[in-house]
Amino acid sequence: MERGLYNIASATTTTLIDFYKGKGSISSIRLTNAHAATAVTVDLFLEDASSTKCYLLKTDIPGKASVFLENVSFNNSVLALKVTTAGSGLHAATPLSIIIK
């Protein structure tokens, strides 16, 4: 998959930008729930080497909805960008698409 594009189809924690990967500046992050009706719980956060988290976003995204974040900036030499997703009931694998530019 192209760098900056992610399709997450299970309840999991995914590293979007790891430490020291030289991603450069980020102009935007779009998180889209691809499910028709079921919400997906999203925790988008920065994490340091000691696993301390600083949350950028903690929310439920309804089905067929997006969240758009602009001007996300952080020091990639000491912080990683991660996302944790969760669904509910039969739809624990609610699909989430992420685009980082």
Locate the domains of the chain by residue range: 5-100
Q: Is 27 within 8 Å of 101 (Cβ atoms)?
A: yes
Class at the top of the CATH hierarchy for domain 5-100:
mainly beta
pTM to 2 decimal places: 0.88
Segment 17-61, tens digit of pLDDT: 998 876 667 889 999 999 888 899 999 999 999 999 999 999 999
Segment 70-99, tens digit of pLDDT: 988 888 889 999 999 987 644 456 789 999
pLDDT of residue 13: 95
pLDDT of residue 33: 94
Q: Is 73 within 8 Å of 25 (Cβ atoms)?
A: yes
Name the phi and psi angles at 15, rounded to 5. Answer: -85, 115
pLDDT of residue 38: 87
Q: What angle do CA 56, 64, 47 make, to 5 degrees?
A: 20
